[in-house]
């Protein structure tokens, strides 16, 4: 998976399921995706937050792009203030706030490095022990695209199974993977509902929201609420 900033719980379900999770950092950075932004709960509604990335060539990969250091301190203070305003009465606010605060002081502004560090810290908090590897550290033919590139990554790692989010059903062929001796599965997250502030549950928010309202033990239980297809 590409490195996403504080992604939704399905991302962590995939990480927890795998023996090895590949952070796909040497592919093209896409503007207005989920690499530098996500959603949290603000005043009972879904609200997007984002951190500025320096404008650069659209052909550069994620590991070649940088968060805007000149704006980051201001955006960090604003974000932490928003978290306090939105979640100060959540049951796990203090622990999660401290975790997010420690993540945001990481001093490497390369987008992929910053997010990779955030994923490691969140995994440590939840109790996910999966090994993380950056795709840029795996020696394959970088001219390969899409399915062929995934297959090359699997071969380089000696994988016998590859699991992708359900959105990849139209992109990857089970028969093609089988030809290479690899079992292909897709993970489909079950409907996960937990108590927020109001009666109306707001779904598909950042893992931050999940952590604010649930203990690491409860989150570990949620990580197993999926179907493999």
Separation of alpha carbons 20 and 26, rounded Å: 17
142-156 pLDDT per residue, tens:
899 999 999 999 999
The pLDDT value recorded for residue 32 is: 82
Residue 199: pLDDT above 90? Answer: no
Three-class secondary structure of residue 42 per DSSP: strand
- Categorize the per-residue pLDDT at 36 as very low, low, confident or very high, splitting at 50, 70 and 90: very high
What is the pTM for the complete model shown?
A: 0.96
The pLDDT value recorded for residue 56 is: 95
């Amino acid at each position: 998976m590409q490195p996403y900033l504080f992604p939704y719980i399905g991302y962590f379900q995939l990480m927890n399921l795998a023996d090895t999770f590949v952070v796909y950092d040497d592919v093209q950075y896409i503007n207005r995706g989920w690499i530098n932004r996500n959603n949290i709960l603000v005043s009972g509604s879904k609200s997007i937050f984002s951190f500025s990335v320096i404008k650069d060539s659209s052909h550069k990969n994620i590991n070649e792009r940088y968060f805007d250091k000149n704006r980051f301190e201001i955006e960090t203070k604003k974000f932490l203030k928003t978290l306090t305003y939105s979640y100060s009465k959540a049951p796990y606010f203090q622990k999660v706030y401290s975790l997010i605060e420690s993540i945001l002081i990481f001093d490497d502004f390369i987008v992929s490095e910053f997010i990779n560090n955030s994923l490691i810290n969140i995994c440590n908090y939840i109790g996910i022990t999966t090994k993380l590897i950056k795709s840029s550290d795996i020696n394959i033919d970088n001219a390969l695209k899409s399915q062929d590139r995934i297959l090359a990554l699997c071969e380089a790692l000696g994988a016998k199974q590859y699991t992708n989010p359900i959105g990849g059903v139209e992109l990857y062929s089970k028969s093609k993977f089988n030809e290479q001796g690899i079992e292909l599965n897709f993970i489909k997250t079950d409907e996960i509902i937990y108590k927020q502030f109001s009666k109306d549950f707001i779904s598909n928010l950042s893992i931050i929201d999940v952590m604010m309202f649930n203990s690491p033990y409860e989150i570990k239980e949620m990580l197993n609420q999926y179907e493999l297809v």
